[in-house]
């Protein structure tokens, strides 16, 4: 049985459970439980605070964890970053009152900086030869300047709306973060085998994100042009139609490019274009 630690509540909890479900691992997400077993996969889920996850994975209490890269960087514990998962994107940034003039990192010399990420901040200050005082706050860091606790803050930023509402502006990004799958460095052979199966499924789920499946009818005389428009993952699938001079073409495209591709295909004579969702792509 492989144990994986995930955040007990919040956005990363919801997205982690959704990812597990997407790869065929269903777990009871009851808020009254702290440990849930999957009935269809040899795994159990441990619900924890996000800042405790690197520690329980490093100690071996949990073999795996899904947590923000920012927490991994802050704790600095020996864990392996197995895979970046592409959700929960944010950054650890420095912010100052919006009325202050910012002239570069040297601004922070002699300043007090409030943060709940002291280790990340210390590394940044040392790398930039900045002498500043660090005020460690575990609560609402963004209120520190207004409360007279600090001159600036170093905190997690997603949209930046919280900074604006507290009269602050972001001036430096220190660490770019997203959810990552981490593992204890000393997995057993059985644990590694289960992890490998998870990774196989994760690759399929992640590759399929933002993809659409296109089917269309197109004149055979336009095939070369169509293939240039739709290179697909290896090459498009082409099948002859009963109607002479026509064929059916199938391909997978990025959703961001979908409408531009459709316009180009229509311009060279494509008809009956179908757009389908992609559930899984096995690399």
Residue 207 has a pLDDT of: 83
pLDDT at 138: 86
Average pLDDT for 218-227: 91
The greatest distance separating any two alpha carbons of the chain, rounded to the nearest whole angstrom, comes to 79
Q: What pLDDT does 206 receive? A: 84
pLDDT in tens, 76-106: 999 999 999 999 999 999 999 999 999 999 9
Lowest pLDDT segment from 35-39, 81-85, 156-160, 279-283? 279-283
What would the DSSP string read from start to end of 17-61?
HHHHHHTT------TT-SEEE-TTSSEEEEEE-GGGHHHHHHHTS
- Phi first, then psi, for residue 190 (nearest 5°) are -65, -40
Assess whether the region 2-88+178-207 and the region 90-176 belong to the same CATH fold.
yes
Other CB atoms within a 10 A radius of the CB of residue 283 amount to 9
Can you list the pairs that 227-232 forms with residues at least 24 positions away whose Cβ atoms lie under 8 Å?
A: 229/261, 229/264, 229/265, 229/268, 230/261, 230/265
Tell me the torsion sign for CA atoms 27, 16, 21, 283. negative
| Cβ contact 12:88 at 8 Å | yes
Please give the C-alpha separations between residue 198 and each of 19, 42, 94, 191, 201, in angstroms, as whole numbers: 11, 10, 36, 11, 5
31 has pLDDT over 90: no
Distance, in Å, from the CA atom of 118 to the CA atom of 116, rounded to the nearest integer, reads 6
| CA gap 94, 124 in Å, rounded | 10
Q: Which CATH number fits domain 2-88+178-207: 3.20.20.10, 1.10.3720.10, 3.40.190.10, 3.90.1150.10?
A: 3.40.190.10
CA–CA separation, 116 vs 179, rounded Å? 19
Mean pLDDT over each residue of the chain, to the nearest integer: 92
Determine if the pTM surpasses 0.75. Answer: yes
Residue boundaries of the structural domains of the chain: 2-88+178-207, 90-176, 211-277
Mean pLDDT of 157-163: 90
Q: Which residue has tokens 């619900």?
A: 47
Q: Which CATH entry fits the domain spanning 211-277: 3.40.640.10, 3.40.50.970, 3.30.70.120, 1.10.10.10?
A: 3.30.70.120
**90-176 to CATH, choices 3.40.190.10, 3.30.390.50, 3.40.50.720, 2.40.50.140:** 3.40.190.10
- Low-confidence winner among 29-38, 77-86, 199-208 (lowest mean pLDDT): 29-38
- 152-157 and 112-115: which strand pairing? parallel
């Amino acid at each position: 049985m492989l144990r994986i630690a995930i955040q007990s509540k919040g956005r990363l909890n919801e997205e982690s459970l959704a990812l597990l479900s997407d790869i065929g691992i269903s777990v009871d997400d009851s808020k009254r439980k702290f440990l849930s077993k999957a009935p269809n996969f040899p795994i159990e889920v441990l619900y924890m605070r996000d800042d405790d996850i690197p520690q329980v994975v490093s100690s071996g209490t949990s073999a795996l964890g899904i947590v923000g890269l920012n927490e991994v960087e802050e704790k600095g514990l020996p864990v392996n970053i197995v895979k970046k998962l592409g959700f929960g994107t944010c950054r650890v940034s420095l912010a100052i009152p919006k009325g202050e003039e910012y002239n570069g990192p040297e601004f922070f010399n002699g300043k007090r900086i409030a943060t709940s990420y002291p280790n990340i901040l210390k590394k940044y200050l040392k790398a930039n030869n900045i002498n500043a005082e660090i005020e460690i706050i575990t609560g609402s860091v963004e209120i520190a300047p207004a409360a007279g606790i600090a001159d600036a803050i170093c905190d997690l930023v997603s949209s930046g709306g919280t900074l604006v509402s507290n009269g602050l502006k972001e001036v430096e990004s220190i660490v770019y973060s997203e959810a990552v799958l981490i593992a204890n460095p000393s997995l057993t052979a059985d644990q590694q085998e289960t992890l490998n199966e998870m990774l196989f499924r994760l690759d399929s789920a992640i590759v399929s994100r933002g993809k659409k499946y296109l089917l269309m009818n197109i004149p055979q005389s336009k095939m070369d042009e169509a293939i240039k428009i739709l290179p697909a993952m290896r090459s498009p699938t082409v099948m002859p139609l009963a109607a002479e001079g026509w064929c059916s073409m199938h391909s997978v495209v990025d959703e961001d490019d979908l409408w531009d591709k459709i316009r180009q295909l229509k311009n060279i004579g494509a008809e009956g274009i179908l757009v389908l969702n992609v559930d899984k792509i096995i690399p």
